[in-house]
Amino acid sequence: MSMVQDTPLVLGGHEFTSRFILGSGKYSLDLVKAAVENAGAQIVTLALRRANAQSANVLDHLPEGVTVLPNTSGAHTAEQAVQIARLAREMGLGDLVKIEVITDNRHLLPDNHETLKAVEALAALDFVPLPYMYPDVVVARQMAEAGAAAIMPLGSPIGSNRGLVTREFVELIIDAVDLPVIVDAGLGRPSEAALAMELGCAAVMANTAIATAGDVPAMARAFGQAIEAGRLAHLAGLGRVVTDHAVASSPLTGFLDDDPDRKEA
């Protein structure tokens, strides 16, 4: 019996066996614990610009083996994003950085132009840039050429739990760039995380859907299992889709009339 074998998630030379990433929107030690213990999270993002005593406490209590991914949330320009990334590296948080540049305070949509500039600048400084972006296939290619280690298109607006409303554009990016594509923001259900993985995404980032659930540990577990199931389905190869007619799963003729041993009652 054949069973597909997965490979690690590789981000700029860093390898991870988990494909679930915990976002930084609603921090608590209980949330981090639930994501690590129940969803197998190995990456937890940290928005340095909004860091406070609580998030510092999270840093002090992260389980061994968990990688902190600094996030430039709060930056309105590429220059500010670069400053935050450099501060993170000086704090000992390494070279991985999630680039988030937002100038739209109402909808919190990423500014792709400024984000691209930040990718170019940080790649030149030997960072491993992971840009959060509005799903535009042309800009995704430009970010890849500029030195991005992954592309992180939004599924829907941050914190909305509206799901993978950008599905078709995410699929275009998956086909267009030879980099891991990580859906970031907006997923509200485990089934949506599974769908993203079935499409060929390399990982999923979530926060609000888990943080606002009735049972946080159970929802973390549900997301973790959904991501694994979606990844396995993608590797296995999804079955064919027939749209113009039905296809019987077993023969409709020949199993009675053609039986020479059948006798009339």
Q: Which residues are catalytic?
A: 98
Residues sharing a CB contact under 8 Å with residue 49, sequence separation 6 or more, in sequence order = 72, 73, 74, 75, 84
What is the DSSP track for 132-173?
EE---HHHHHHHHHHT-S-BEE-SSSTT-----TTHHHHHHH
Show the tokens assigned to 17: 């066996």
Q: Which residue is listed with tokens 């009735």? A: 214
Sign of the dihedral through C-alpha 31, 35, 36, 38: positive
d(CA 164, CA 194): 11
Residue 121 C-beta-side C-alpha neighbours within 13 Å: 17
- Closest by Cα among 115, 120, 149, 200 to 14: 149
d(CA 249, CA 209): 37
